């Protein structure tokens, strides 16, 4: 097992898959960097450093640096996929689904169904999401709740470098359109990554902490917070299952229900607000399907119903935290 | 190069098939047999056919909400299309798509589209793929004069220029977007392709009601694009004979406007005239094609009426290839 | 009280509010119709017939017929609102939020917050939503679940002509940005509408049927289905509260919780799929806040996780129906 | 018409204020005092000031992610801006917006924007409003060479032409969008405003590093637009002196490129040279302004450091005017 950064797991998977399969093509803004400049290509290799070295190795027809035209980027990915390629498009910030949603939602997500199952659209749309950098309301958002609600799309949210490799490889080889959500604050996180071929199938949650008192469900950046909460609760003798969903569409409903059947108590942590969000979805799912097992009302730890504020103090107050998760766990334990 | 007699007959057959397909739809919709939103291509046949007669199944096209003509011209099965519009499981899209979403990747028809302007970026992606394959294939985006105001269309044009993709933007200027006139909605007030030109693209303009002009213009366009000289745009002046959608009262038309169009701008009439006057084809040959086409459409409708209907279980099929 | 169509309640409210306040401006595609044609302006008055006669009365600077450029339409509404006007933009089909989402989500919905409460954006974005016309995957969608999850927006879903008048008047006079969702299948529905000034405040659900056995929560087109179900259940002696939420943001959580406190049983009907949808949100809300009152697991009646299919049989199977609601009510009554 | 001495001094003061504001930010960001993403306008000052010196508070502007210069030129309070970037509740946006979202409607500054291309449609709406008010006011959208590839920008230009709105599209061509060169990303490969021209708009081009040229060009542009002759576009050739964002290593620059720009294309240097050579202003007058400006920026930073910080309760304020 090699140790590597989350960011590098993205990069190395791209290198590996592009070598393995020449139908894999990447496109996005500044993916090469330096196009049309005196400094020349590969001046940056993606603003997240997730495409360094691709241009030199695979050339301009497979590593396509694009103008600032997100709709055309996703649309082109759709066209490449319909034509038999495996495009991996980068949107830079998840917030930019605002300018490209039609292509994501009404086009690539629906081709297969609208065309009666006779086309396939193996496109991956990568984007960096999440808060924590005081980047304010238009550069910090979580979008999995919106995208998971769109039938036809698969939505992936890796929380570790190992899962980046396993899930991203799966995403590229998957024949359905996949939204691949990379958390900005995780890019610099290090972890062990299996050598050689490593695939993580979609729809299988990862149990990252085990306990019998409370089930905590989380994704992406929230997983680390849930783990921190679980670890501090463990010191007080409270055992938590921490379930990292890994993919929110498909969602591993079975793993959630199985865990709650044992614990009878549920805390869902999400980086998006509650209204029509993932936290409420999971709570409802459990309430509908594991009602008899529930010993206390499900708890949701989410940001409030506000845009994401700029100032440090405001953003910290906005986001979930291990403390807030601990409080929610205690609330469900102390219920009645 | 002149077209051979066979090629001319084939072109005529395609145009007539589109016309007959649509006029029959017009009738059936009035009778209430067909559900959903249907936009008839009638009047624009010379464009679809004049463009697609140059293509083979590895060339790709992306179409619009007014897509029947493009589909037929590109080689989609006419009976399968009719069954689709009828909502049968034997339809080209198993009854899932309907009029606005017909596709058949096997003939290079990547899909009609209900979202105005959404096709152009998709066509650019297909063109990038064609470039990568290096076989000289092209990808064509059909767009209307209304679609040329959608940001996606502009982004697609710029992206095609930047990536030197073999994409062709065919603008069918039928002078209306729904109920609104081209002269109002398209800022330039003269044409569409001057915009494409400003993106650094080579552009052409031609009469879209004259099959021969369309065909010949496209020969030049395709030579340019297949030669690796980057994308191109072409604007065809054309006419829409029916309403924007079936049911449109067309109050935006001037007095006598439609009568004049039928009399002077019917591409099928024009084709027949030119082909017979130049003694390329004979009137009775063309009448023979007409009969065959009408028989085909009758069969398509009969088959569609008799075709199997979907069941509730079909709803959940084909969302994904595999979900878990 | 006059009797009028849902569609005409939209139209007459526009006439009344434009007369009352000259800062009200409307814009959208074919809103006038016939611009730049030999037939001349007012050839259509909106494809839904909801702007007939406005152009003649208020002229081209207040009744702005636009090119097919949804992003610019919503953006222009934002600019008009920031500059002190009260724009009412029409998007024609709700599905077209795909091409204009950035302006809805990242711009008009966030101006106030991002600018520290020092700007206001009194824009109304109207759109026709919903299935029932075999208009397939790109012209039939419900979008309230996505938009309600966007902090900064208010989301309104009238189900009757009277509520159209009351809620639309409120929307136009409201100083926050409002999404006004009109169901296509309701345009032709007739109902009594109060004469004179009639405002319905946001965040107040309407109890359209009263009963003590089960609470049914619905919006828009689903309200009629819930009523039909409640009426047929009433014949069997089963009493249902039918709550028409009217607005999903703000949501009248109190009314829902109060009702469930009495009935102990909840059925939520929604026209959008369950995943991260409104039905799951309401179920979770009740499970979190009225856990002790619940006698049975909440039931959601929603379409499956698929795009909207074209064929008649498929679309009927896709949509909720009174029968499916009755079945859900019986399921919750028969639980254990 | 020549500018008065006072007007010249005011213009210089504005340019110097922008420069000093940003260079101080550059230092403070390096020290880690400031959170978030910051894009410096340094190098482009002559554009913002040359444009905004023609405007009053009822004229409106819409800005970009690189907005400090536009804000200062339009009259936003410099101390309030600094406090905003510091995240204080006394900031122009109460600490909610930060560098990318500064706005002050009272001076006609409708908002900076983190989404490239999003401003243009908003500016068109403001222009529609100005037209309705009939007072000859205008609305200006600032955009970069990168933003000119975003569909929204095109839609906005067409919409402005169609509605004959008094909108002005100011394109600041600093030749880079992030790390990518203008010649690559902008399909035309020569300029931006030829696109605007294709929408039927009157266009201008000028050197954006020369305040006098910007100012005089804008006089013509504004005369055209205030006169009710419809929208206009103008492209200024300008330079960005710092990285795209703070922290950018600028590996896309050619050898010696930045040194050359500082030497030859510094709009402040050029202004001083031209103003003193023509004996319009004296060097020591200008030095006096420099000192005043630096003192103001010192004060802004000191005040910002001392300014009150938000509390968790502030998070939920100002989402809505009233929710229930
Ligand atoms: C994004 C979007 N906006 C609006 C519509 C509604 N609409 C459907 S067709 C049409 C007019 C299109 O005009 P044009 O591009 O000229 O094509 P034509 O109908 O003339 O073939 C409009 C406005 C749509 N389907 N998608
Ligand atoms: C829709 C969108 N796409 C991409 C970005 C990321 N981004 C921020 S600034 C920028 C470059 C903008 O270039 P230009 O318009 O030339 O402005 P400049 O930075 O040169 O002032 C990019 C790509 C964004 N903020 N919004
Ligand atoms: Mg048209
Ligand atoms: Mg630039």
Q: Quick check: CB of B35 below 6 Å from ligand 1?
A: no
Q: Using CA atoms, how far apart are residues A308 and C296, in angstroms rounded to an integer?
A: 37
The per-residue pLDDT for range C272-303, each reduced to its tens digit, is: 999 999 999 999 999 999 999 999 999 999 99
Identify the pLDDT of residue B189: 63
- The sign one gets for the Cα dihedral B10, B12, B18, B24 is negative
**Residue D145 CA to ligand 2 centre (angstroms):** 9
Helix (H) or strand (E) holding B155: helix B151-163
D186 lines ligand 2 (CB under 6 A): no
Q: What is the pLDDT of residue D33?
A: 87
Report the alpha-carbon angle D255-D261-D266, nearest 5. Answer: 165
Of the listed ligands, the closest to the CA of B39 is 1
Whole-number mean pLDDT of chain C?
98
Report d(CA C322, CA D299) in Å as an integer.
68
Residues of chain D with pLDDT under 70: 1, 189
For A167, list phi and psi in degrees, rounded to 5. -80, -35
Q: How large is the average pLDDT for residues A147-160?
A: 98
Distance from CA of D82 to the nearest CA of A (A): 13
Which residues of A are less than 8 Å from B324 in CB distance? 201-203, 250
Looking at residue C118, its pLDDT comes to 97
Q: What pLDDT score does A336 carry?
A: 80
Which residues of chain B are within 8 Å of residue D201 when distances are taken between CB atoms? Answer: 187
Cβ atoms of residues B51 and B73 within 8 Å: yes
How close is the nearest chain A Cα to the Cα of C110, in Å? 7
Q: What is the model's pLDDT at position D187?
A: 87
Best probe residue, ligand 1, of B116, B171, B248 (max atoms within 8 Å of C-beta): B116
Does residue B278 have its Cβ closer than 6 Å to ligand 1? Answer: no
Q: Which residues of C touch B312 (CB under 8 A)?
A: 313-314, 317
* D155 closest CA partner among A71, C69, C97: C69
Asked if A203's CB is within 8 angstroms of B125's CB, the reply is no
Which positions of A are catalytic? 139
In chain D, which residues have their Cβ closer than 8 Å to the Cβ of B119? none
Any ligand 1 atom below 6 A from CB of C92:
yes
- Dihedral of alpha carbons D216, D221, D223, D224, sign: positive
Which residue among B149, B153, B161 places its CB closest to the CB of D187? B161
Nearest to A95 by CA among A148, A144, A31, A139: A139
- Residues D104 and D92: beta-carbon distance below 8 Å: yes
Tell how far the Cα of C266 is from the centroid of ligand 2, in angstroms: 48
Angle in degrees, 0-180, between the axes of helices B267-277 and B211-226, rounded to the nearest 10? 90
**Does ligand 1 come within 6 angstroms of the Cβ of B153?**
no
Q: How far apart are CA C29 and CA A117, in angstroms?
A: 33
Per CB-CB distance under 8 Å, the chain A contacts of C336 are 292
Place of tokens 């067409």: D158
Residue A78 and residue B125: Cβ atoms within 8 Å? Answer: yes
For residue A137, list chain D residues with Cβ-Cβ distance below 8 A: 96-97, 101, 114
> Cα of C188 to ligand 4 centre, how many Å?
51
- Beta strands A124-129 and A86-93, pairing class: parallel
Asked if the Cβ–Cβ distance from B93 to A114 is below 8 Å, we say yes
User: C-alpha distances in angstroms, B269 versus B46, B264, B289, B292?
Assistant: 11, 9, 14, 18
Determine whether C139 is an active site residue. Answer: yes
Of A281, A289, A309, the CB nearest to C275: A281
Please count the residue pairs, one from chain A and one from chain B, whose beta carbons lie less than 8 angstroms apart: 167
Residue B54 has φ and ψ, to the nearest 5°, of -85, -5
Q: Which residues pair with A242 in a beta bridge?
A: A209, A216
pLDDT digits (tens, 9 = 90+) for A63-89: 999 999 999 999 999 999 999 999 999
Residue with CA at minimum distance from ligand 1 atom 25: B115
pLDDT at C336: 80
DSSP class of residue D254 equals: P
All domains of chain A in start order, with CATH: 2-193 (3.40.50.970), 206-333 (3.40.50.920)
| C68 contacts B177? CB cut-off 8 A | yes
Residue B1 has pLDDT above 70, yes or no: no
Considering chain A, what percentage of its residues have pLDDT values greater than 90?
99
Residue C325's H or E segment, with its range, is helix C322-333
Residue B246 has pLDDT above 90, yes or no: no
Dump strand ranges (E) for chain C: 2-5, 24-28, 63-65, 86-93, 124-129, 154-156, 178-183, 190-193, 206-209, 214-218, 240-244, 247-249, 266-269, 299-301
* Alpha-carbon gap, residue D247 to C68, rounded angstroms: 40
Q: Whose CA is nearest to atom 11 of ligand 1?
A: B177
pLDDT-based confidence at A313, cuts 50/70/90? Answer: very high
Does CATH place domain D5-246+254-308 in 3.40.50.970?
Answer: yes
Q: Is C68 in the pocket of ligand 1 (CB under 6 A)?
A: yes
Kindly state the percentage of chain A with pLDDT values over 70: 100
Please tell me which of the candidates D98, D181, D316 has its beta carbon nearest to residue A306: D316
- Residue B53 contacts residue B62 (beta carbons within 8 Å): no
D169 interfaces chain B, CB cutoff of 8 Å: no
How far, in Å, CA of D218 to CA of C126, rounded?
38
**What count of Cα atoms within 13 Å lies in the side-chain half-sphere of residue A37?**
28
The residue annotated as part of the active site, out of C139, C144, C183, C198, is C139
Find the mean pLDDT for residues C214-218.
99
Q: Judge if the beta carbon of residue A29 lies within 6 A of ligand 2.
A: yes
Paired tokens of D298: 């010192």
Higher pLDDT, B155 or B191: B155
The backbone torsions φ and ψ at residue C317, rounded to the nearest 5 degrees and listed phi first, read: -65, -30
* Residues D168/D233, Cβ–Cβ less than 8 Å: yes
Position D188 scores a pLDDT of 80
Cβ <8 Å between A116 and B95: yes
Q: Which two tokens stand for residue B293?
A: 């086409």
Summarize pLDDT for A189-239 with one digit per residue, the tens. 999 999 999 999 999 999 999 999 999 999 999 999 999 999 999 999 999
Nearest to A287, CA basis, from C255, C294, C242: C294
Cα(D142) to centroid(ligand 2), Å? 12
Ranges of beta strands (E only) in C164-270 are 178-183, 190-193, 206-209, 214-218, 240-244, 247-249, 266-269
State yes or no: pLDDT of B324 exceeds 80: no
Res. B199: pLDDT tops 80: yes
Pull the structure tokens for residue C268. Answer: 């939520």
Q: Which of D187, D254, D316 sits opposite A304 (nearest CB)?
A: D316
Res B188: pLDDT: 80
Segment B270-313, tens digit of pLDDT:
999 999 999 999 999 999 999 999 999 999 999 999 999 999 99
What band does B33 get if pLDDT is binned at 50, 70 and 90?
A: confident
pLDDT given for residue B190 in this prediction: 75
Label each residue of chain A as H, E or C: CEEEEHHHHHHHHHHHHHHHCCCEEEEECCCCCCCCCCCCCCCCCCCCCCCCCHHHHHCCCCEEECCCCHHHHHHHHHHHHHCCCEEEEEEEEHHHHHHHHHHHHHHHCCHHHHCCCCCCCCCEEEEEECCCCCCCCCCCCCCHHHHHCCCCCEEECCCCHHHHHHHHHHHHHCCCCEEEEEEHHHCCCEEEECCCCCCCCCCCCEEEECCCCEEEEECCHHHHHHHHHHHHHHHCCCCEEEEECCEEECCCHHHHHHHHHHHCCEEEECCCCCCCCHHHHHHHHHHHHCHHHCCCCCEEECCCCCCCCCCHHHHHHHCCCHHHHHHHHHHHHCCC
Tokens found for residue A281? 């979805």
- Across residues B52-62, what is the average pLDDT? 98
In this predicted structure, what is the pLDDT of residue D2? 84
**pLDDT tens, residue by residue, B79-91:** 999 999 999 999 9
Supply C77's token pair. Answer: 């509404």
Tell me what pLDDT residue D1 has: 65
**Through-space distance between the first and last CA atoms of chain C, rounded to whole angstroms:** 47
Q: Which residues of D113-152 are buried (b: 16+ CB within 10 A; e: fewer)?
A: bbbbbbbbbbbbbbbbbbbbeeeebbbbbbbbbbbbbbbb
CA of B143, closest atom in ligand 1: 15
Residue B151 confidence (pLDDT): 98
Between CA B78 and CA A99 the distance in angstroms is: 37
Q: What is the Cα–Cα distance from B119 to A82, expressed in whole angstroms?
A: 12
> How far apart are the C-alpha atoms of B286 and C226, rounded to whole Å?
59
Question: H-helix or E-strand containing D233?
Answer: strand D232-237
CA nearest to D35 within chain A:
A134
With contacts defined as CB-CB under 8 Å, which chain C residues touch D124?
72, 75-76, 79
> To 5 degrees, how large is the angle CA A78–CA C130–CA C164?
135
Other beta carbons within 10 angstroms of residue B256's beta carbon come to 10
Query: In angstroms, rounded to a whole number, what is the distance separating the alpha carbons of residues D176 and D40?
Result: 13
Confidence check: pLDDT of C314 > 70: yes
Q: How far is the CA of B112 from the centre of ligand 1 (A)?
A: 12
Instruction: Supply the pLDDT for residue A310.
Output: 98
Distance from B309 to chain C by nearest Cα, in Å? 8
Q: Is the CB of B65 under 6 A from ligand 1?
A: yes
Q: D267-277 vs D5-30: helix axis angle to the nearest 10?
A: 150
* Residue C63, Cβ density class (10 Å: 0-12 exposed, 13-18 middle, ≥19 buried): buried
pLDDT digits 0-9 by tens, B175-189: 999 999 999 999 886
Nearest by CB to B154, from D151, D184, D186: name it.
Answer: D151
pLDDT-derived band at B2 (thresholds 50, 70, 90) equals confident
Kindly identify which residue of chain B lies nearest to residue A249, measuring between CA atoms.
Answer: B323
């Amino acid at each position: 097992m090699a140790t590597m950064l989350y960011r590098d797991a993205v990069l190395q998977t791209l290198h590996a898959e592009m070598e393995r399969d020449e139908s894999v093509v990447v496109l996005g803004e500044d993916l090469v960097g330096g196009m049309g400049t005196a400094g020349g290509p590969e001046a940056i290799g993606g603003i997240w450093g997730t495409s360094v070295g691709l241009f030199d190795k695979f050339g301009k027809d497979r590593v396509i640096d694009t103008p600032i035209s997100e709709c055309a980027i996703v649309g082109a990915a759709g066209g490449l996929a319909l034509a038999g390629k495996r495009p991996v498009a980068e949107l830079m910030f998840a917030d930019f689904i605002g300018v490209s949603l039609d292509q994501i939602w009404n086009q690539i997500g629906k081709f297969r169904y609208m065309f009666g199952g006779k086309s396939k659209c193996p496109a991956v749309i990568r984007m960096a999401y999440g808060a924590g950098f005081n980047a304010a309301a238009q550069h910090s958002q979580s979008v999995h709740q919106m995208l998971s609600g769109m039938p036809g799309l698969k939505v992936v949210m890796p929380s570790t470098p190992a899962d980046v490799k396993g899930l991203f490889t799966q995403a590229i080889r998957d024949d359905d359109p996949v939204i691949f959500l990379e958390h900005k604050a995780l890019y610099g996180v290090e972890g062990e990554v299996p050598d050689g071929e490593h695939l993580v199938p979609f729809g299988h949650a990862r149990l990252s902490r085990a306990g019998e008192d409370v089930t905590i469900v989380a994704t992406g950046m929230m997983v680390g917070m849930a783990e921190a909460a679980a670890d501090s609760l463990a010191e007080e003798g409270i055992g938590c299952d921490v379930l990292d969903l890994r993919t929110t569409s498909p969602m591993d409903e079975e793993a959630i229900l199985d865990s709650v059947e044992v614990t009878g108590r549920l805390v869902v942590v999400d980086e998006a607000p509650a209204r029509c969000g993932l936290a409420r979805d999971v709570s409802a799912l459990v309430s509908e399907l594991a009602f008899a097992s529930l010993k206390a009302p499900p708890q949701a730890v989410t940001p409030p119903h506000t845009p994401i504020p700029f100032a440090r103090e405001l953003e910290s107050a906005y986001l979930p935290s291990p403390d807030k998760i601990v409080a929610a766990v205690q609330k469900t334990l102390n219920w009645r | 190069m002149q077209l051979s007699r066979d090629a001319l007959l084939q072109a005529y057959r395609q145009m007539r098939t589109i016309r007959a397909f649509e006029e029959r739809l017009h009738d059936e919709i009035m009778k209430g047999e067909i559900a959903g939103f249907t936009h008839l291509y009638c009047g624009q046949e010379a464009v679809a056919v004049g463009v697609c007669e140059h293509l083979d199944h590895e060339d790709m096209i992306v179409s619009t909400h007014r897509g029947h003509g493009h589909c037929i011209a590109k080689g989609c099965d006419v009976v399968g299309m009719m069954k689709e519009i009828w909502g049968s499981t034997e339809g080209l899209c198993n009854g899932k798509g309907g009029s606005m979403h017909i596709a058949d990747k096997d003939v290079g028809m990547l899909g009609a589209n209900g979202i105005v302007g959404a096709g152009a970026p998709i066509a650019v992606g297909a063109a990038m793929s064609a470039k990568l394959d290096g076989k000289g294939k092209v990808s064509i985006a059909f767009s209307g004069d209304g679609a040329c105001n959608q940001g996606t269309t502009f982004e697609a044009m710029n992206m095609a220029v930047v990536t030197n993709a073999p994409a062709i933007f065919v603008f069918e200027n039928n002078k209306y977007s729904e109920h609104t006139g081209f002269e109002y909605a398209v800022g330039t007030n003269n044409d569409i392709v001057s915009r494409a030109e400003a993106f650094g693209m080579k552009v052409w303009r031609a009469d879209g009601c004259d099959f021969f002009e369309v065909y010949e213009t496209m020969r030049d366009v395709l030579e340019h694009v297949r030669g690796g000289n980057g994308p191109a745009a072409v604007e065809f002046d054309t006419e829409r004979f029916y309403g924007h959608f079936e049911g449109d009262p067309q109050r935006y038309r001037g007095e006598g406007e439609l009568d004049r169009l039928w009399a002077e701008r019917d591409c099928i009439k024009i084709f027949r005239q030119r082909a017979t006057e130049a003694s390329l084809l004979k009137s009775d040959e063309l009448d023979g094609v007409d009969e065959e086409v009408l028989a085909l459409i009758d069969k398509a409708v009969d088959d569609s009426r008799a075709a199997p209907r979907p069941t509730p279980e079909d709803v959940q099929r084909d969302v994904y290839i595999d979900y878990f």
